[in-house]
Amino acid sequence: MTGDELDDEIAALLQRADQRYTKGRRALVAALRAAGQPVTILQILDAADGLAQSSVYRNLAALEEAGVVTRVITNDEFARYELAERLTEHHHHLICSMCGDVFDFSLGARTEASLDKALHRVADDAGFTVEAHRLDLVGTCPRCD
CB 10 within 8 A of CB 68: yes
Axis-axis angle for helices 53-66, 3-16 (nearest 10): 80
Rounded to whole angstroms, the Cα distance separating 68 from 31 reads: 13
Candidates 75, 78, 85, 113; binder of a copy of itself (CB under 8 A) is 75
CB of 26: closest distance to a copy of itself in angstroms? Answer: 27
CB 68 within 8 A of CB 12: no
Q: Does 82 bind Mn ion (CB under 5 A)?
A: yes
Q: Does 18 bind DNA (CB under 7 A)?
A: yes
Reduced to 3 states (helix: H, G, I; strand: E, B; else coil), residue 104 is strand
CB of 125: closest distance to DNA in angstroms? Answer: 30
82 binds, among DNA, Mn ion, Zn ion, none (CB under 5 to 8 A by kind): Mn ion
108 binds, among Zn ion, Mn ion, a copy of itself, none (CB under 5 to 8 A by kind): a copy of itself
Residue 10 has phi, psi (to 5 degrees) of -65, -45
Binding mask 61-80 for DNA (x = CB under 7 A): xx--------------xxx-
